[in-house]
Amino acid sequence: MSCAVCGAARTRGKLRRGDVDILECPSCGLAFWTPPAGFRPDRVYDAGYFAGAQVDRGYDDYGDLEASLRLTFARRLARIPRPAGRARLLDVGAAYGFALDEARRAGWEATGLEISAPAVRRAAALARGRVVVADAAAAPFASGRFDAVTLWDVLEHLPQPHAAVSEMARLLRPGGRLVLSTGDVGSLVARLSGARWHLYTIPEHLFFYTRRSLRALLEAHGFRVESLRAEASTYTLGYLVERLRKTLLGRSARRPARWPGSGLRIGVNLFDVVTVEAVLRARA
């Protein structure tokens, strides 16, 4: 099997997580697993994914994380230069619309794209009907429409990396910015954690990127990578405990009731999530 990002002809086994084999590309470091035939990634994101339908995956309650997510999104958005006048931003994988709403507050004319219809129904009030249900590789917008496209912890969920990034390049005007965050499987924490790395969440994460594979992917579609950096995120104490529970205990865990202190917000940087900022070159 060849590498889905750099096209290297050979890949090799990396580790085994539960009953899933994770492979890697010796050339760009991309790690990935192969879903069974008939796997439908879009079916993963039903209402239950965001609301604790399964004890070992998804979110216990995505809505509970609103305040901490907004802090993280606002900090990330503050770094994106906003053109004077009308400035259009597309948030891909908008979920409940928290990032979209933060972008709107920061002065962007913000639109969202989301594959999960239940999430969009939940977002409608908040994001004022600005979230469209569609696949990231087939967005129903005119070419060159946007000044910025953001994907916050979304790229690793997308089954066709090149098709998705090609679509982002189509949607951006020349000079527009693609800003995304994703786990860094080449980071020290990921390497030390082995199969227990907290971002090996299967089936929702399909690919695990390295800085090198991100560069290769973006440059293939006309982007110039301006920066790659590990940044802190704000989490609630309850969410950190939830992640640990899912990572270490999986299906054998029981979900605790809400506890005092679970809403406490903490800034965390394990240096295993990378934010990439890339600019679309003028078309030749």
- The reply to whether 8 sits near Zn ion by the rule CB under 5 A is yes
Q: Decide whether 9 or 37 has the Cβ nearer to Zn ion.
A: 9
Q: Which residue, 2 or 54, has its beta carbon nearer to Zn ion? A: 2
Of residues 124 and 163, the one with the C-beta less far from Zn ion: 163
Shortest CB 18 distance to Zn ion, Å:
24
Q: Furthest-apart CA pair in the chain: how many Å?
A: 58
Residues 6+ away with beta carbon under 8 Å from 90: 110, 111, 112, 113, 139, 141, 145, 146, 148, 149, 150, 171
How far is the CA of 9 from the CAs of 14, 22, 37, 132, 156, in angstroms?
Answer: 16, 17, 22, 37, 21
Candidate ranges 7-15, 44-52, 171-179, 186-194; the one touching Zn ion (CB under 5 A): 7-15
Determine if 23 is a binding residue for Zn ion (CB under 5 A).
no
Tell me how crowded residue 29 is: count the other CB atoms within 10 A of its CB: 22
Selected binder of Zn ion within 28, 115, 274, 279 (CB under 5 A): 28
- Closest CB to Zn ion among residues 5, 99: 5
- Work out whether 6 is an interface residue with Zn ion (CB under 5 A): yes
Shorter beta-carbon distance to Zn ion: residue 200 or 207: 207
- Please state the closest distance from residue 159 (CB atom) to Zn ion, in A: 16
Cα distances (angstroms) measured from residue 70 to each of 78, 232, 234, 262? 12, 13, 9, 17
CB 154 within 8 A of CB 275: no
DSSP bridge partners of 223: 280
106 binds Zn ion (CB under 5 A): no
Q: Does 131 bind Zn ion (CB under 5 A)?
A: no
25 binds Zn ion (CB under 5 A): yes
Q: Which stretch binds Zn ion (CB under 5 A): 19-27, 137-145, 176-184, 265-273?
A: 19-27
Say whether residue 171 binds Zn ion (CB under 5 A): no
The Cα 151–Cα 183 span in angstroms is 12
CB of 5 to Zn ion, least distance (A): 5
Number of residues that bind Zn ion (CB under 5 A): 8
Smallest gap from Cβ 93 to Zn ion, in A, equals 23
Alpha-carbon radius of gyration of the chain = 18
Beta carbon of residue 33, minimum distance to Zn ion (angstroms, whole number): 15
Which residue stretch of 26-34, 103-111, 247-255, 264-272 sits at the interface with Zn ion (rule: CB under 5 A)? 26-34
| Residue from 15, 27, 219, 281 binding Zn ion (CB under 5 A) | 27
Q: What are phi and psi of 272, to 5 degrees?
A: -120, 15
Find the binding residues for Zn ion in span 29-58 (CB under 5 A): 30
Q: Which residues contact 133 (CB under 8 A, 6 or more apart)?
A: 114, 115, 116, 117, 120
- CB atoms inside a 10 Å sphere around CB 148: 24
3 class by beta-carbon count within 10 Å (0-12 exposed, 13-18 middle, 19+ buried): buried
Q: Which stretch binds Zn ion (CB under 5 A): 18-26, 119-127, 155-163, 254-262?
A: 18-26
Residue 281, phi then psi, degrees to nearest 5: -70, 155
Binding site for Zn ion (CB under 5 A): 3, 5-6, 8, 25, 27-28, 30
